[in-house]
Structure 1
Amino acid sequence: MSFAVTTIIFAFLLFTFMYFLFKLFLHSKQKTIIHEKPPGPPTLPIIGNLHILGTLPHRTLQSLSKKYGPIMSLQLGQVPAIVISSSKAAESFLKTHDIVFASRPKIQGSELMSYGSKGMAFCEYGPYWRSVRKFCTLKLLSASKVEMSGPIRKEELSILVNTLKKAALVGEVVNVSEVVENLIEDIVYKLMFGRSKYEQFDLKSLVQEGLALIGAFNLADYVPWLGIFDLQGLTKSCKKVSKALDEVLEVILTEHEQAANVNKTQKDFVDILLSIMHQTIDIEGEQNLVIDRTNIKAILLDMIVAAIDTSATSIEWALSELLRHPRVMKKLQDEIQNEVGNKRMVNEKDLKKLNYLDMVVDETLRLYPVAPLLVPRESRESTTIDGYFIKEKTRLIVNAWAIGRDPNVWSENAKEFYPERFVEKKMNYLGQEFESIPFGSGRRRCPGIQLGLITVKLVIAQFIHCFNWELPHNISPSNLNMEEKFGLTIPRAQHLHAIPSYRLNDAKLE
């Protein structure tokens, strides 16, 4: 046995002994007042409930909630956590007590890869986060900005349709997942960088690797003293990906700085962010909130991550379900055909008339929320909710995946893909409805909802309107693999493949 392994085992046993001594001493000194916490599974020393989470924690937590209830306690190493799994509980935590749970816990992945969590997604609640969010919402993600970026989506989709037409001519099996990911990547690059993808590096792969690392259950986040051993190798991996991402962002920023004097008809995200470097964007009068290069890289990285992986994942799941349900596919094609005809492609103005498309997207987001456990929150102070005491620094895990599949809300067919359930229920995702919360709710709700929805809807509409799709000959709708991979997002475990056949007459994109 090596010295290093012996040292780790000795340290573990010593810590366990000290832990029991501490608990024994603390128990004898405790006051008689006991605060009731939510029910939850029994814990083990040191690791608490970490051992029960499994490879698909959103499914494990849903199963546990059936036994312990929609507000459930977990002990994740040394971190107390609350898991909520119903719309009623979500409304209580994310609306009634939103300000209490408006902050984020510090996790190693975001600290290493997001420049000390200086972006929007993982930043703790405070003046800096409020200022950055307000700036990004107004200057980068407003309705007018989304509308101005329409020509980018139009151009990239037109190029893709022409490529797929060639594949259709020869009956080629298309890797739909790869096609969708590349399309979204091209749209995002044009929107954020003002240009097509860089040939010298693979930013998409780096983003996906970073997402997987941040979404992984890192022992160092829950048992900090184990962090020095890096038993999972996650610290090393995070540092490696962080360095690679930083090099990419430096190339992008430097390129824009060197072209600063070029007149552009439309400024991209990097141009807008660089325009505020060394300036204060503080909305509360605190003079120390000045945006520097590190802040810009952190904000830009958040934007890239949020835009590339989330939209592509939603589109892949929607197309997967449409292939599994030919009835729904036909109904959606008929709706688009009636509104658009068969001589042109869908444009963004058409989307407002496509009610069944809205239902298909709503049903996809209900069943496959991009972030199944959202991004974890942390309580800023102790509070009592529904009679349960929740202490400060408790981690809040919102199981959006379980909420969207709750049979008490969505009936006994909650697991089925059935868009018609939204005939009488129009979703707006503005934070007032909690039966399906794919974008979160409250102060930490995703600020890019408009951009995300219009991209997802337009791509799905174009794919379905321009082409008929069939699964490869050895796969039927009933046996299409629908397994997912867990991380911050839940993409398909296997890429989706299908065969397109062109269905329009000399289509034009007006």
Structure 2
Amino acid sequence: MAQTQAFNLFSPILLLLPLLLLIVLRLFKHNSSPSLPPGPYPWPILGNILQLGNKPHISLTHFSKIYGPIFSLRLGTQLVVVGSSQAAAIAILKTHDRILSGRHVPHMAPSKSSELNKLSLGWVVECNEKWKYLRTVCKSELFSFKALESQACIRERKAKEMVGFINKMEGKVVKIREVATATVFNMLSNILVSRDLISLEHESEDGGMSSVLKDIARLASTPNISDFYPILGPLDLQGLRKKTMELHRRSFNMCEAIIQERREGEGKGDGPDASRRRDFLDTLLLNGSSDDQIETLLMV
């Protein structure tokens, strides 16, 4: 009888024990987690994905008016902190750039592989010494005042070619967006490798680069469930990583042909002369960069 009474006394406590344990663990986790900027309440599992809608830029602007210039979101299992004002951008990108220099690498990015991560600049996971060296080279050869000034003639020449092409197409249908995109890309390709990679007149004869660029842009703008739930990454449920790897393989093959041609020219003593300014590829070759590294820098 005494045992039965004792069991009846402690049975409610035993039933409540898991609930009490869950509450204690939740309180401990709440106290140990860093304080986050305010933001909309996340739904279980989905987080704030549905609240972003199909026009996330408008939704983010709306959130900034409610929660301030810095707010947090949950996209699936991933925490995202958004800075939406000039002051917030300066604080994140300039004042505290070293502390906040880590970056999210999309699952579809080829540099997720260990080998490409050693060579990439845009999607490298950590800012190591190799990354600092590549950043210095790119800054001095591409983005310094002297470099931008020397590239002005290329931009002017390509702009004139675009205007001339549009004038020549008078009376015909011209897709201005595609012509402008091709012109901007050719400006960049001439700075990098001193040649056009997209033909304004015969787009189908440009070696497929235009098609590759369009497909990469389309895939890059497609929401990837593996980014929201990394545990699903190995499954590649949408096939985006597989498609991206194939596109990068095609673009790398095009770059490989250009690099090989330049190396063969160097072997014959055909370096940059008065008819061709020294480009970014020349700089990388002079610095002893490997073909894999050059291909990755040009395309990633």
TM range (shorter): 0.7 to 0.9
SS in 1 for 2:127: coil
The equivalent position to 2:290 in structure 1, one of 281, 292, 295, is: 292
Q: Find out whether 1:129 has 2:114 as its counterpart.
A: no
Name the counterpart of 1:235: 241
CA distance in 1 between counterparts of 2:135 and 2:211 reads 26
Sort the Cα spacing of 1:33 and 1:190 in 2 relative to 1 into closer, same or farther, 3 A.
closer
Name the counterpart of 1:263: 271
CA contact 1:110–1:116 (8 Å) conserved in 2 = no
- Measure how far apart 1:121 and its partner are: 2.4
Name the counterpart of 1:469: none
Sort the Cα spacing of 1:186 and 1:139 in 2 relative to 1 into closer, same or farther, 3 A.
closer
CA distance in 2 between counterparts of 1:140 and 1:68 reads 38
SS in 2 for 1:251: helix
CA distance in 2 between counterparts of 1:160 and 1:250 reads 28
The one-letter amino acid of 2:283's match is I
Name the counterpart of 1:141: 143
The one-letter amino acid of 2:186's match is D
After superposition, the C-alpha distances for 1:3-49 in whole angstroms (9 at most, x for unaligned) are xxxxxxxxxxxxxxxxxxx9778426547567432211222333322
CA contact 1:77–1:222 (8 Å) conserved in 2 = yes
- Measure how far apart 1:258 and its partner are: 1.6
Name the counterpart of 1:120: 121
Sort the Cα spacing of 1:206 and 1:69 in 2 relative to 1 into closer, same or farther, 3 A.
same
Name the counterpart of 1:38: 37
Name the counterpart of 1:191: 191
SS in 1 for 2:251: helix
The one-letter amino acid of 2:159's match is L
SS in 2 for 1:94: helix
CA contact 2:197–2:206 (8 Å) conserved in 1 = no
Provide the aligned length of Structure 1 versus Structure 2.
267
Sort the Cα spacing of 1:131 and 1:23 in 2 relative to 1 into closer, same or farther, 3 A.
farther
SS in 2 for 1:48: coil
The one-letter amino acid of 2:90's match is E
CA contact 2:105–2:112 (8 Å) conserved in 1 = no
CA distance in 2 between counterparts of 1:232 and 1:107 reads 14
- Measure how far apart 1:71 and its partner are: 1.5
Name the counterpart of 2:176: 176
Sort the Cα spacing of 1:62 and 1:179 in 2 relative to 1 into closer, same or farther, 3 A.
same
- Measure how far apart 1:173 and its partner are: 4.8
The one-letter amino acid of 2:299's match is L
SS in 2 for 1:201: coil
**Greater C-alpha Rg:** 2
Question: What RMSD, in angstroms, separates the aligned Cα atoms of the two structures?
Answer: 3.0
CA contact 2:38–2:67 (8 Å) conserved in 1 = yes
CA contact 2:256–2:291 (8 Å) conserved in 1 = no
Sort the Cα spacing of 1:195 and 1:98 in 2 relative to 1 into closer, same or farther, 3 A.
closer
SS in 2 for 1:153: helix
CA distance in 1 between counterparts of 2:76 and 2:102 reads 20
CA distance in 2 between counterparts of 1:235 and 1:25 reads 41
> What are the within-5 Å matches in structure 2 for residues 21-170 of structure 1?
26-27=25-26, 29-30=28-29, 35-112=34-111, 115-116=116-117, 118-123=119-124, 124-168=126-170, 170=171
Name the counterpart of 2:224: 218
Name the counterpart of 1:14: none
SS in 2 for 1:298: helix
CA contact 2:109–2:241 (8 Å) conserved in 1 = no
- TM-score when normalising by structure 2: 0.76
Of all paired residues, the percent bearing the same amino acid is: 29
SS in 1 for 2:35: coil
